[in-house]
Amino acid sequence: MKIDVPIKTKPFLFASKCILLSLLLTNCSSEKDKWLSQDLSNGYGILKVGNSETTGRFGGGGWGRLNGADFDKDGDIDILANFGRGGNAVGTFAGLYFYENIGSPGNALLSEGIKLGDKEGHSFVGDANNDGLLDIFCEGELFTNISNQNNITFDKPIPAKNPGWKPCGETDWDGDGLADRFITSRWHLEMVTGKDTDTLRLPVGGKEILEDIFIRPFVCDWDSDNDPDLLIGQESGHITFIENESGTLLQERHILQKNPNVKSGCASVPALCDWDNDGDIDIIVGTAAGFLELYENHEKKIQTGKKT
């Protein structure tokens, strides 16, 4: 049974948290042990589905600074994400993470991910020792790629200076031979062009307002069609994909992840129950933005959170 919950645009800041706290006191199902509650201590809830084969939208820390490259030379982009220490990242996700793309070109799927370091900041990618493998530099630490054919692995970090690798946000987006730079912004996709210092605001899917606040863009050819696309690190802990179709930016889509953390942004409070009476456990989450989100458990996939 599929439930379509309409989006409400008016937030009611504390109502959702009060409702969800009361729901948490109710034993919604005897099968709660299929779900793992990771952390409720800081006023937010991060859940992981007990079935490791589950796929759903990416769930990580807040304010993700993204970078990436084809670390295993299989034709797709693997992702680096450095999460901040505020909001829903406190004590849980802050630091540098690596996510292998275990899907296929044009049909990406990120792995559960591994944590590389604790420092917060920007990451850079290059080949520090000329061995043909891409290494990572982040905030005074160099992570050497020691991967073999079957496994992407990085050595323990060593103190280092940036080898001169460029920031990931710079690209010749408009094809005029000058480097353009996408910038951190609120709600909008904005770029500083190489011609001047003026900020250019780009429409996405025919709109100027993106899904989330505090966005951090990363330019890469995500769908392997030989033109630059955008991945967006969000305050909420999600990553979205903006496809470039012959110069037109299409509507945001969520990046999928295997065995993801179920995230709804800062101060989210979850409750578990069989909302649609189909015999499995669904999730209802209240957020600081004042929304209730429903995540329907459909076989082994968690449907995208639907706001109400």
Question: Using CA atoms, how far apart are residues 248 and 265, in angstroms rounded to an integer?
Answer: 29
Q: What is the pLDDT of residues 210-222, one digit of tens each?
A: 877 778 888 989 9
- Top-confidence range, 11-20, 48-57, 227-236: 227-236
236: tokens are 């909420």
Q: What DSSP designation does 8 have? A: P
- What predicted TM-score, i.e. pTM, was given to this entire model? 0.76
Question: Using CA atoms, how far apart are residues 237 and 251, in angstroms rounded to an integer?
Answer: 19
Segment 91-114 shows an average pLDDT of: 86
- Of 254, 308, 241, 237, give the one whose Cα is nearest residue 48: 237
Q: What DSSP designation does 162 have? A: -
Residue with tokens 């210092």: 197
Question: Using CA atoms, how far apart are residues 96 and 254, in angstroms rounded to an integer?
Answer: 21
Which residues are bridge partners to 297 per DSSP?
302
Q: Which of 28-42, 113-127, 153-167 has the lowest mean pLDDT?
A: 28-42
Three-state secondary structure call for residue 163 = coil
Residue with tokens 């863009």: 217
